[in-house]
Amino acid sequence: QVQLVESGGGLVQPGGSLRLSCAASGIIFSTYTMGWYRQAPGKRRELVARIGGAGSTNYADSVKGRFTISRDNRKNTVYLEMNNLKPEDTAVYYCYADSVTRGYWGKGTLVTVSD
């Protein structure tokens, strides 16, 4: 049974930082591309960042220079370090595991950026 469990969300002031984690089980983690997506109220789910099994990364333009995705294949965990957060970063953040032929979603963690 595949499980992706996100953690680390919460309320933060503009300019603040958060670190999200996603612990995976039930998959051969190192063979999966891992991604973080987000969905703000009333908007479509969008890609935030993605990291391949060997560590190659890509980011949405809106988060470049502020967010960093990383992974620890020994711990089956992917991280999203978020700095200089803005109110428009408010969303539910979802972890995604992609093996090309199949994909799995976590249940999400809420990030709220507000005074």
One pLDDT digit (tens) per residue for the chain, 115 residues: 999 999 999 999 999 999 999 999 999 999 999 999 999 999 999 999 999 998 999 999 999 999 999 999 999 999 999 999 999 999 999 999 999 889 999 999 999 999 9
pLDDT of residue 100: 83
Residue 70 near residue 59 (C-beta atoms within 8 A): no
User: Please, how many CA atoms are within 13 Å of residue 30, restricted to the half-sphere of its CB?
Assistant: 5
pLDDT of residue 33: 97
pLDDT of residue 11: 98
Q: How far is CA 73 from the centre of its chain?
A: 15
